[in-house]
Structure 1
Amino acid sequence: MSSANSLSVEELGSAAQRERRKRILDATIDLASQGGFDAVQMRAVAERADVALGTLYRYFPSKIHLLVSALSRELERAELVLRDRPAVGDTPAERVINILKRTSRGMQGDSHLTEALTRSFMFADASVAQEIHGVGMILTRMMTRAMHPGREEFTEDDVAIARVLGDVWLSALVAWVTGRNTAEQTARHIEVAVNLLLRER
C-alpha cells in the first residue's frame, strides 16, 4: 500500500480539481452501494468518474485511501444533517445515543455501502493515518456537540470521551457488517457504552 496521502479538498487549488475529486467519491459510493467492498476497483472508479487511472491514483493512492475518504464524506453529510436537526434528549447520554442511532440507521439502510466503508476502515494501515484521523475528528465533533449543545470549546475529558465513543460506534458497525451482531444488538451495545461513559455527566 502506498505511503502517500489522499488529496484533501483544502489541498486542491481549483474548482475543476475539487469537482474531479467529488466525481471520484460519487463514483466510489455508487459502486460500493451496488456491490460492496469488492465492487470498488480503481479502474472501474476511474471509468465511472471519467478520469484517467493515473489521475485517480494522484488523488487517492489506493482503494483503502479512497474508501476511507468516502466514509469521511458520508460522515460530513451526516454532521450537516445534525446541524439542521440537532440531537434530542435531556441529558448528554440521551443526545449522543440519539445521534448515533440516527447515523447508524442511515448507514444500515445501505448495507453494501456500509460494508465497503467499514471494511476499508478495518483494513487501513499506518499509510492511511491522515484519512483515519479525519474520520475520528468528524465523529469527535458530532459527539461533543451532542454532549454540550451550543458550546464551542470542550474540556479534555469531553474530547477523550467522544473519541472513545467514536471507536465504540465504529466497532459496533464492524460487528454488524461481519454478522456478529444484529442491528438491534448493535444499537443496544452503543447505548450501554454511552450510558457507562456519560453516567455522571
Structure 2
Amino acid sequence: MARIASARLSAEPSSPEQHDRRRRILRAAARIGGEKSLERVQMHEVAKAAGVAIGTLYRYFPSKIHLFTAVMAAQVDRFEEGITRPAPGTPPEEAVADLLVRASQQLLAQPVLAASMLHASNAANGATVADTGRIDGTFREIVLRTVGIEVPTAQDVTLVRLLMQCWYGVLQSSLNGRASMADVESDIRLACNLLLAPRSNSH
C-alpha cells in the first residue's frame, strides 16, 4: 500500500527549467502509472524516466501520493482546456453530466492510471498536498460556470463538493468491476439532476 503523504510541503518550481523538469516528471509518472499499479511504481524509476535526480523528484513530490495527485491535477487542467460550450438550450445539469461522462471515459480508458490517481487524491491531506486544492478548485469552477452560477453561495459550494465525491465513488465502482460504463453514465446523470437541477432552476 502507498504510504500516506509526507507532511513536508512540495517545492514549487519558479524558473522555466524547473517547470520543465516538473512537467517531465509528471509525464513519466503518467506513462509508468499507466502500466503499473501505485504500489508497484518506484520513485527512482520515475526519476530515471524523467531524466532527473532522485533528490529533484522528492523535492517536488515528497511521496507517491503527492506525485499521483499532481498527475490527476494536470489531467483535470487539460480536460478543462478542452471543454466546449454546450449546445444552446441544454439544461445546465445535463451539460455538467455530459462533461463528467466525457471525463469518466477519458480516465477509465487508462484504468491502472485512473486507480492510482484516485487512490492518491483520496489519500492526500489537503494541508500538505497542494494539488488537492487545485483539483477541487478547477472542478468547482467547471461545474459552477456550466450551471451559470457566477456568485456561489455556501450551499452551491457544498453541492459541488458532494457531486465530486459522488463522481469519485462512481469511478471507483467501475474500476473495482462493480459498475459498467452504462452504469457510470446513468449514475452521473442522476447525481447531476438530483444535486444541480434545483440550483440551476433557481438562478
Please tell me whether residue 3 in structure 1 is matched to residue 7 in structure 2.
yes
Instruction: State how far apart, in whole Å, the 1-side matches of 2:15 and 2:114 are.
Output: 31
Given that 1:31 and 1:39 are in contact with CA atoms closer than 8 Å, whether structure 2 keeps it comes out as no
Deviation at 1:34, TM superposition (A): 2.0
For 1:86 and 1:155, the matched residues in 2 are separated by: 24
TM-score (normalizing by structure 2):
0.87
Q: Which has the higher helix share?
A: 1
Unaligned runs of 5+ in 1: none
Deviations 1:95-123 (A, max 9, x none): 11111111111111122221221122233
Report what 2:174 is aligned to: 176
Q: Deviation per CA, 1:153-191: give whole Å up to 9, x if none.
A: 433333222222111111211111222222221221111
C-alpha distance in 1, partners of 2:18/2:165? 32
- 1:126 CA displacement: 5.7
Structure 2: gaps of 5 or more residues: none
| Alignment-derived partner of residue 155 in structure 1 | 153
Alpha-carbon distance, 1:141 to partner: 1.0
Residue 127 of structure 1 and its aligned partner are, at CA, apart by 5.9
CA, structure 1 residues 3+127, in 2 after alignment: closer, same or farther (shift >3 Å)?
farther
* Map of 2:28 onto structure 1: 27
The residue that corresponds to 2:187 in the other structure is 189
8 Å CA contact 1:25–1:66 kept in 2: the answer is yes
Which whole-Å deviations, capped at 9, do the CAs of 1:33-71 have from their partners, x for residues lacking one? 122324421011000001111111011000010000110
- What is the TM-score normalised by the length of structure 1? 0.88
Letter of the 1:5 partner, please give it: L
Tell me the equivalent position of 1:42: 43
Alpha-carbon distance in structure 1 between the residues aligned to 2:151 and 2:193: 23
**Preserved contact between residue 28 and residue 50 of structure 2 (Cα < 8 Å):** yes
Number of equivalences = 194
- Cα separation, 1, equivalents of 2:144 and 2:63: 32
Amino acid at match of 2:121: F
Matches within 5 A, 1:97-116: 97-116=97-116
Q: CA deviation at 1:125?
A: 4.2
Inter-partner Cα distance in structure 2 for 1:156 and 1:15: 38
Partner of 2:81: 80
Root-mean-square deviation (Å): 1.9
Whether the aligned pair in 2 keeps the contact of 1:24 and 1:45 (CA below 8 Å) is yes
